[in-house]
């Protein structure tokens, strides 16, 4: 029953969830001083083959979002601090060439399978598949040319008090080794409260596996402002999935209690990041999947809170997914210069990727990621901002 592992949430219900369960966003949204406007499209350069890349700018409820048709990339996301001053809290580049040649998935839509699959191999219905390998011997984020490295069709929209973008991409049968032609639709919505909502949908004509996510690198003090180790993080999970030396889950669901992986109560990220735990040593920090206490749910539920004490900016994440990958920016090495003209170094940002578990196709005890013809993959993640 793979279908019931992915759930549908009605637009009206989701809007109510964002407004009630997650709060009403920032002060500008509460006062009504910022209102949605039609997304604005502008050129953002060309690919080597002459393909034009565009950027769409959206604003609603005090949140400002800029998105590329290249990989569905969130190129910039601005939110206000406690004094109403906006800052871009998402790492990125100011030109398309760097996104094509250098990016470690800054702001990208990830597919066909977010996270890692061991040796790029899995078996489905008795047939073995070999995927594109791009992370040592493993497949990461869909392979060498995942969804983040393709041009998406973008359709802007306004609906009531919401503004947003519908993004479409068709992955043909056999692309990066995956079976089935997968038709993906991802919708970015900014609500009147300034929440950023992502709705993922996909259908297939052949049994396949799918695990879509967003790879925004967050620094709530502002991109290029330095370390996120003083950010306070809470994750509603009593267990996580330990990994081997290749960052592939072992299959164990380990308890976080008594380890540096315990974020059940908010704590500064830097408090335990150098604790010397074997799992941290091999990952160079945190780069693990937390098995969320709530599991798979019929609608998004609040699972994580990130807060920057300096600015007061707070991010709350709600999802219907069973897992959350927390990556502490371990492989940023000072070689990349971002949108603000500053270099990004280790620990200058973090990712919180809502997902099914890494390498699920190879672990029968993990929630299934199988999608079959006639089924529709649906999942929703909501980001709520306040200060």
Q: Are 197 and 137 in contact (CB under 8 A)?
A: no
**Cα distances (angstroms) measured from residue 244 to each of 12, 292, 330, 352:** 43, 21, 17, 21
How far is residue 27's CA from residue 244's CA, in Å, rounded to a whole number? 45
Q: Are 42 and 55 in contact (CB under 8 A)?
A: yes
Task: Find tokens 């967050």 and name the residue.
Answer: 218
Token output for 165: 């973008």
Q: Are 29 and 387 in contact (CB under 8 A)?
A: no
3-class secondary-structure state, position 301: strand
Token output for 102: 């250098």
Active site residues: 215, 353
Closest to 149 measured CA to CA, from 53, 50, 247: 53
How far is residue 256's CA from residue 326's CA, in Å, rounded to a whole number? 14
Token output for 167: 């993004």
How far is residue 300's CA from residue 48's CA, in Å, rounded to a whole number? 40
Q: Long-range contacts of range 41-44, CB-CB < 8 Å, 24 or more positions apart?
A: 41/156, 44/68, 44/70, 44/75, 44/95, 44/96
Neighbours of 126 (CB within 10 A): 5
Token output for 305: 């809170």
Q: Are 212 and 110 in contact (CB under 8 A)?
A: yes
How far is residue 332's CA from residue 257's CA, in Å, rounded to a whole number? 29
Q: Are 282 and 210 in contact (CB under 8 A)?
A: no
Q: Could you tell me where the DSSP H helices lie in the chain? A: 11-20, 27-31, 96-101, 278-283
């Amino acid at each position: 029953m793979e279908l019931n592992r992915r759930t549908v949430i009605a637009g009206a219900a989701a809007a109510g969830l964002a407004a009630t369960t997650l709060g009403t966003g920032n002060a500008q949204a509460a006062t009504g001083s910022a209102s949605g406007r039609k997304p604005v499209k502008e050129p953002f350069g060309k690919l080597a083959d002459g393909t034009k890349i565009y950027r769409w700018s959206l604003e609603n409820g005090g949140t400002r979002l800029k998105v590329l048709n290249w990989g569905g990339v969130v190129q910039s996301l601005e939110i206000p601090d406690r004094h109403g001053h906006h800052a871009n809290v998402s790492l990125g580049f100011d030109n398309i060439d760097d996104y094509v040649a250098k990016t470690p998935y800054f702001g990208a839509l990830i597919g066909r399978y977010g996270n890692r699959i061991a040796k790029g191999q899995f078996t489905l219905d008795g047939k073995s598949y070999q995927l594109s390998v791009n992370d040592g011997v493993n497949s990461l984020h869909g392979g060498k040319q995942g969804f983040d490295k393709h041009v998406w069709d973008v359709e802007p929209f306004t609906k009531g008090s919401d503004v947003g973008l519908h993004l479409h991409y068709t992955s043909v049968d056999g692309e990066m080794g995956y079976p089935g032609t997968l038709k993906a639709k991802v919708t970015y919505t900014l609500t009147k409260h300034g929440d950023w909502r992502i709705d993922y949908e996909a259908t297939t004509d052949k049994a396949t596996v799918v695990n879509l996510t967003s790879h925004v690198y967050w620094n709530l003090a502002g991109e290029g402002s330095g370390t996120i180790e003083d950010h306070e993080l809470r994750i509603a999970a009593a267990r996580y999935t330990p990994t081997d030396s290749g960052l592939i889950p072992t299959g164990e669901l380990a308890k976080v209690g008594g380890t540096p992986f315990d974020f059940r109560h908010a704590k500064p990220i830097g408090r335990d990041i150098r604790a010397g735990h074997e799992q941290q040593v091999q990952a160079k920090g945190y780069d693990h999947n937390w098995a969320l206490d709530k599991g798979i749910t019929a609608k998004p539920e609040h699972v994580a809170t990130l807060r920057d004490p300096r600015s007061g900016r707070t991010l709350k994440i709600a999802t219907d997914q069973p897992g959350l990958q927390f990556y502490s920016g371990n492989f940023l090495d000072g070689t990349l210069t971002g949108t603000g003209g500053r270099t990004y170094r280790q620990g200058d940002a973090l990712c919180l990727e809502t997902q099914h578990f890494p390498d699920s196709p190879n672990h029968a005890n993990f929630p299934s990621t199988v999608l079959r013809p006639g089924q529709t993959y649906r999942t929703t993640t909501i980001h709520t901002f306040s200060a």
